[in-house]
Structure 1
Amino acid sequence: MDTTLGDPLVGNVLDGRYRVDARIAVGGMATVYRAVDTRLDRVLALKVMHPGLAGDAAFVERFIREARSAARLDHPNVVSVSDQGTDRGYVYIAMEYVPGCTLRDVLRERGALQPRAALDILEPVLAALGAAHLAGLIHRDMKPENVLIGDDGRVKVADFGLVRAVDTHTSASTGSVLGTVSYLAPEQIEHGTADTRVDVYACGVVLYEMLTGAKPHGGSTPAQVLYQHLHEDVPAPSAAVPGLAPGLDALVAGATARDPRDRPADAAAMLALVRAAREALSDEQLDAVPPQASSAGAAGPAAPPTGSEDRTSVLPRLVGAPPAPADDALNRTTRLDHPPVPPGPPPAGGPRPGRRPLPRRGLLIALAAVLAVLVGSGVWYVNSGQFTKVPAVLDMPQDKAEKELGKAGLGVKVKQEFSDTVERGRVTATDPATGERIRNTGKVTITVSRGPARSEVPNVIGMGLDAAKRKIEGAGLAVGDVGTQFSDETPQGAVLATDPKAGAERRPDTPVALTVSKGPALDVPDVTGQSVAAATTALRDKGFEVEVSGTQVFSDKPKDAVAEQSPGKGAKAAKGDKITITVSKGQEMVTVPDVTGRSEADARRTLTDAGFKVEVKRPFFFPRDSVDRQSVKGGDQAPKGGTITIELKGGL
Structure 2
Amino acid sequence: MTTRDDDLVGRVLDGRYYLRKILARGGMGTVFLATDTRLDRTVAVKVMQGGDADIDFNERLSAEARAAARLSHPNVVAVFDQGDDAGVLYLVMEYVPGHTLRDVISREAPLPPRRVLSLIDPLLVALSAAHDARIIHRDVKPENVLITPSGQLKVADFGLARAITSTSQATTGVLIGSVSYLAPELVLNEGADARCDVYAVGAVMFELLTGQKPHTGETPIQVAYQHVHADVPAPSTLVAGIPPYVDALVARATARDRDQRSADARVLLHQLRRVRSALEAELVDDVELTQDLQLHRVAAAMAGSDGWPGPDTAPGADDWSTGVGEWSGGDGGPAAATAVAAASASSVYGDTATPEDSTALYRPGPPEAYDSGYEATRAVTRDAAGIPAPPLAHTRAATRYDDKHRRGRRMLVTVLVLALLAAGLGWWFGVARYDSAPDLLGMPVAQARAEGQRAGYTVDDGDEAFSETVPRGSVVSTDPGPGDRILPEGTMTLTVSKGRERYAAPDVEGMSEEEAEAALAEVKAVVGEVERKYSDTVDSGDVISTSLPVGRMIRPDTEVDLVVSKGRKPVTVKDYTGKPVDGAQAKLEKAGFEVDVERVYDDKVPRDQIMAQDPASGTAYKGDTVTLTVSDGREPIEVPGVIGKNVDDARAILEAAGFKVEVEKERIHFGSNLVSRQSPGGGDEAPPGSTILLRIV
The TM tier, using the shorter chain, reads 0.3 to 0.5
Query: By percentage of residues, which structure has more strand?
Result: 1
Q: Scaled by the length of structure 1, what TM-score is found?
A: 0.45
Q: Scaled by the length of structure 2, what TM-score is found?
A: 0.42
Q: Which has the higher contact order (CA 8 A, sep 6+)?
A: 2
Computing the radius of gyration from Cα coordinates, the structure with the larger value is: 2
